[in-house]
Every structure is written in C-alpha cells, then in structure tokens.
Amino acid sequence: MAAQNGKDLLIKLDMTDAGAFETIAGLRATRISFNAEAVEATSLESGGWRELLAGAGVKQASISGSGVFKDAATDERMRRVFFESRTPVFQVIIPDFGIVEGAFQVTSIEYAGTHDGEATYELSLASAGQLSFTAL
C-alpha cells in the first residue's frame, strides 16, 4: 500500500442524530486506537504456555484530535455533546482502509491559546457501544 495523506484521516460527527455527518472543523491531527482485554485461561494442562480465552474481554476504541478553534457548527455541537453527556454517532475515515462508525462519548475538551497565536483545542473520545467497520 502506498503512503497516505495524514489529512485524509477524518473524524466526522453526526450533527443531527439522523446521519448528517460533518468533518470536525479545524482539526490538524487525528488518531484512533483499538484495544481489547485479554482473558487468561491458563491451566495445568497448558503445557507451561499461557492460554487466552478467545472472544472474551472488553473491546474499546479511543479517538483523539487537536486543531484550531474555528467557532463552527461542529465546535458548538461538540461542546453541547460534552456538557449534555451524550453519546452521538461518529465516523472515522481511515484512508484506503475503511470507515469505523459508532457511538462515542466526548471524555475531554481542552482549549488553549497564547497572546500571539491562534486558539487551539484538543479532544478525546471513548467508544460507547459496538462499532461497525465498512471497508473502502
């Protein structure tokens, strides 16, 4: 696979709870991480090797992003989602790989700025249910 443009990794937010996805405004850097807990099932019959129980454990995904504050509709929606503790549907577009979609909770929003620079923000999201994957 050829190298991909980092700007093509997009985080989109369902703006209306009806499937109207928009790319979150002002993002410069994005990241998605998938994790799964391992459940150990080692016994005396394992021959000295650790065994893991297939299909067990908790799966989770986390998303993070940072960028510049644009005071756009997506910024306002993100703040409202955080303060109302909602779990709307997000999409993450991974170039030449696929689309991950599902409910996420905004776990943090941080705003920063200096007297001689632009206002910036960082956000973190945690999966709040089962995710779907659609290959591109």
The per-residue pLDDT for range 30-44, each reduced to its tens digit, is 999 999 999 999 999
Residue 136: which pLDDT band, with cuts at 50, 70 and 90? confident
pLDDT exceeding 90 applies to what percent of the chain? 82
Cα–Cα distance for residue pair 50/41, rounded to 1 Å: 7
pTM of the complete model: 0.87
CATH number corresponding to 6-135: 4.10.410
Distances from the Cα of 81 to the Cαs of 28, 55, 84, 105, in angstroms?
A: 21, 32, 5, 8
* Domain ranges, ordered by start, for the chain: 6-135
The single residue listed with the structure tokens 């405004």 is 25
Q: Over the stretch 71-105, which tens digit does the pLDDT of each residue have? A: 889 999 999 999 999 999 999 999 989 999 999 99
Cα–Cα distance for residue pair 101/18, rounded to 1 Å: 14
